Structures are given as structure tokens and as C-alpha cells.
Structure 1
């Protein structure tokens, strides 16, 4: 078929079509992402009010509200160790208006210990940033007669299987901390799971249980009043909030004990880049705020380094917990 030269009208149409296509490629991002936030933001916390994760959510929510210029509402959705709240954020629209302040229980541990129940995976979140961490503390009841970590090791090794330790439930960070202590120290103790910290505390104070594991902020009031004896914290070094309580890692048997409760700000998968950038900037400014750092220290928590690689940290934590879960034979 012979080639024909386009008419002037056809050339104009072709030129306009090309210009329209080029304009579409260079079009700005949707106004919703550009103008974000244009309405209140909800931060989901997968626990009832009053716990350590709830406290983190409220501290971070206040700071983000100040920096983003919109109210931040905390929505407490308790149940299933934080996983119900996490699932709600996974299912939310990726528009930046529904976020999660979560802990390692629901973000890294739950999928390992209850894989049939927990349906979400790390790929269904957008990591925004680490907020901070808090060690756990191994304690002894006064009735046990144990006064320090060295005495604890001696007594448990001398009487394998005689002693028990309690946590706030199977598969929690407290449970995994206790199992890490057992693994590293070559100790044989029975784990007693409780339905929360309150009954665990009652049995420890009443002398019905020899040992227990608390989040530091939960255990500290009972340590200060002498109702239980602090044997050591579970981070690699002493906690800044309690420099008088040794880290378990100071003993040769426990030199590799390093496990903490940590908290992170997450969004659903596929958050728009402009929204993610604003959230990361606001969180980084929050972590450097003297007022925020002071409140975190008062709660017994350390503040994460701004810009810390949450995705890499998350992978490393999951690998650590996988090893502990296998050692403890924790199964759904």
C-alpha cells in the first residue's frame, strides 16, 4: 500500500495526542497524596488502654498531631495478643489515615507461634519506623530465697525441673525471653502461662511461683516496693532507667541474652511515597524531641535512632524468635 503524507489537520491531531500523553506522564501525584493529611488520622493499638503499647501510641500520636497539623485518634482494639488490631490496619485503605503502633508480639512473634490463626505477613505492612524498646526483667519471689542471677543459676541447676517461671501467656515476648534464658543458661524450668500480668504478679507476691518475667515498666513498681526481687534485665546492657539492675548478659552463662519489647509505627502495604515521606519525617522529629525522650525514659524505654532500618531490624528479630520458638517447641 503506498504511503501518504498526513494532512495538516491530521498532523495537528497527532501532535495534540502526543502532547496529551506526555502531559499524563508528567502529571502531578493525586491531590489526596499531595494534600495529606487533610483529616484526622487513626492510630490503632491492639491492646486495651493502659499498657506499654498503648502508652507508646499515645505519646507518638500527640507528637505526630503537633507536626502534621491534624488530630490523631487512638483506637484500642484488644484481643489475640494485638493481632486483631494489626489485621484491621492490614485491611485498611493505604491512604495514611489508618496506622498501627504495634509491638513485637503481633508484628514478629504471633505468626511464628500461631501460623494458622494469624493470616497477615510482614509484606502486608509498610514499615514507617521504630519508636523505641524496653527490656524485660527476670524476677524472683521473696519466698524463693534467690537474691541475684548467679544464685538463680545455681539453684535451678542444682534442682532441675523443680522450679517454674511465669509469663503473661504462651508465645508472648515475655515467654520467649524466659525460654531464651533457659536455652542460654542450659536450665530446666517449667513455664506457667498466665492470662495477663495481674495474676502473674499475685502468684509471685503470694509465693505460689518462684520466678517470672515482666516488661520492665510493669515490674518496676513491684521491684521498688520489695514485693519481688530483680535478677536481671534482658537487654545486652543495663537499662538507662534502672542502672542499678544488672543485665543478665553480664553473667558468662547469659552473655548472648538480648531480647526486648519493641514498638514500631506501621501502615498498610503500598502507602503512597509522599505520605510515607511525611510520616517518616514527622517520626524522626518526634524521636529527637527532648520532651518525648524524657517521657520515654520515665516509662523505662529507650528511644530508637531516627532513620533506623526497620525492615532489616524486623527480619533479624524474626530470625531470633524463630530459633527460640523451635527450642521451646511452641506450637499452635
Structure 2
């Protein structure tokens, strides 16, 4: 029996060494290349809206560039806050992402102190997908056709006229308050829960002006039930070249306020996964087919190289001043 002992001892020694080596390796999940399972992109708005449109373009980009299965989940509520809260509370592993907007990623927390998350500390910025602006439109009863006529009317009758937005703290609300601040005019804010009621009241004459997305305004502009006075972007919108940027008017020189759509993840997302997602997004945004889909949805595609973290900080500073000016609170 003694002649068999050395092989047994060697086998035991090798087994011990194997166990030690295995213990020193990272977990299997950590060794698996990302993505190893389906990615969920959470959207804080109902299907068919602008953020949902952007989310589905992002999902297709990630599917193509990462070879992943990507599922879009609509979780509407509280102007995107419900979805953002879901993402904030998810594991930072790259499998739950937020397709969000400047609304829930900047503005809502400034007007609602009860919001439970801080976008700048509780989210990992991945990248900007697109920007979007809104139109200042006039209803049919006023016979106002230009920014100049609009400003003249408001200065002649301060406080007489009203404007509608999609809610307190929305891009439309901030854009109107910035206009009021810059031009020294006053309008009464009427917040709405949806575009349908707003456009109905504007056409019916119970509302004087409104700020709406180019997509929502398009059918009303075509049948001349609205008049577009200006757009909030720094430059004219490509599909509406006849509509001036509000900043072109001498009293509003430098005026600009655009919203944006972006991809984010929970705080603590590993840098290598952040970089992988950002690279995929940037590659997709360089392709004409994806850019065309965003443009057809009323958005201006980003380059993929924008600094989302800096954009969030800068917009928070700008919006904070407007919150104070307009005393915005939910």
C-alpha cells in the first residue's frame, strides 16, 4: 500500500491548490461579459409620447450595438418621478436604465421638496440622446401673429391674458417664466394634466396662449387654428424654418431654454459599464437612420459627446433662479 501514497498525496495537494485558486477568482457573474441578460429601459411616461419615442430609439440602439435584449417598461406617474425612483432603487449593474428627460432629472426636485431622490447624486449619467424645444402659440381669437405683437399686447394689458403648460415645473412652465422674466411681462399660468385639454381650451378661446411641443402643435398649425409665435431653442427648428427663435426678438436677445432626453442608471454603476453604454449610444447617434427617427419625433439628435453631468448642474442652476422668480411650488 505504501507505494500508492505519493500519488494520493499529490492529488490531494493539487485539489487543495485548485480550491485556493478558485477562491481567489471573482464571482462567475463578475466574469460574464456585459450584457449577459436582458436590459430594462424604464420610461416615466405613457406610450406614444416624446420620452417614450426616445426610449424606443435608445432600446433599438442598445440592441444593435450591444447585442442585447432590451425591454422598454412604461411606468407613468408624477411627471416621470415614479420611474426615476424605481431606477434609483435598482441595483447598479447596468440592467435597469432610465430613459428620462430634463423634467425628472432636474426640474421636479426643485418644485417638489418631497421628492425622495436627488438626480445629481442618485443617478449615474450615461449620455444625452436628444434635445427638444417648445413653441409659443396663440389661440385664434387674439389675432396675434408675431412675437412683437405678443409682447406689445401683454405690456398694454398686464395680467389680462393667460397661458397654458403641461404642469407646474414642466419645461413649458419654465420657458414661459423665463420669457416673462426677460421681457418684463405678465401672464397667468394655467397648468394642465395633458395636451388634449390644453389644445382644446386654446382653440375654444378660454385660454389665450400656450407652450406646446412642435409635434403636438403640428396639426393645429396646419389647419391654422394655432399661430406659432416663436420657439424656445437658440436656433430655428429644422422642420419649422418660418417660425423664429424667441431670442431673435430685441427684447429677448439671448433667450433659450431647451429640454433634453437622456440615458441614466442608478448611482454606483461601474465605470466600464457606463463607458460601454455611452459608446453604444454615441455609435447609434452617428447613424442617419436613428437620427431621422428622433427628428421625425420632434427632437434634435445629440452627438453623443455631450457632458450630461455638467448639463444637469447648469440646468439646475438656471431652473433654481426661475423657481425663485415665479415662486413655483407644487
TM-score scaled by structure 2?
0.90
2:284 to 283, 286, 289: 286
Q: Distance in 2 between matches of 1:242 and 1:50?
A: 22
Matched position secondary structure for 1:238: coil
Q: Distance in 2 between matches of 1:195 and 1:118?
A: 22
Q: Distance in 1 between matches of 2:284 and 2:215?
A: 21
Residues paired across the two proteins, number: 312
Greater shift, 287-296 or 269-278, is seen at 269-278
Report if aligned partners of 1:110, 1:118 keep a CA contact under 8 Å in 2.
no
Q: Distance in 2 between matches of 1:132 and 1:311?
A: 15
Q: Distance in 2 between matches of 1:121 and 1:296?
A: 24
Q: Distance in 2 between matches of 1:49 and 1:189?
A: 32
Provide closer, same or farther for how the CA distance between residues 110 and 58 of structure 1 changes in structure 2, counting only shifts above 3 A. same
Report if aligned partners of 1:241, 1:301 keep a CA contact under 8 Å in 2.
no
TM-score scaled by structure 1?
0.90
2:127 to 129, 132, 143: 129
Q: Is the counterpart of residue 237 in structure 1 residue 235 in structure 2?
A: yes
Q: Distance in 1 between matches of 2:221 and 2:187?
A: 22
Which residue is equivalent to 1:10? Answer: none
Residue 170 of structure 1: how far off its partner (Å): 1.1
Matched position secondary structure for 2:128: strand
Greater shift, 93-102 or 208-217, is seen at 208-217
Residue 30 of structure 1: how far off its partner (Å): 6.5
Q: Distance in 1 between matches of 2:145 and 2:299?
A: 25
Query: For residues 63-82 of structure 1, what are the structure 2 equivalents within 5 Å?
Result: 63-82=61-80
Matched position secondary structure for 1:198: helix
2:196 to 191, 198, 210: 198
Residue 265 of structure 1: how far off its partner (Å): 0.2
Residue 33 of structure 1: how far off its partner (Å): 6.3
Residue 237 of structure 1: how far off its partner (Å): 1.0
Divergent runs of 4+, >2 A: 27-34, 117-121
Which residue is equivalent to 1:317? Answer: 315
Provide closer, same or farther for how the CA distance between residues 112 and 33 of structure 1 changes in structure 2, counting only shifts above 3 A. farther
Query: For residues 80-119 of structure 1, what are the structure 2 equivalents within 5 Å?
Result: 80-119=78-117
Query: For residues 133-282 of structure 1, what are the structure 2 equivalents within 5 Å?
Result: 133-282=131-280
Q: Distance in 2 between matches of 1:261 and 1:57?
A: 15
Q: Distance in 1 between matches of 2:306 and 2:268?
A: 20
Which residue is equivalent to 1:8? Answer: none
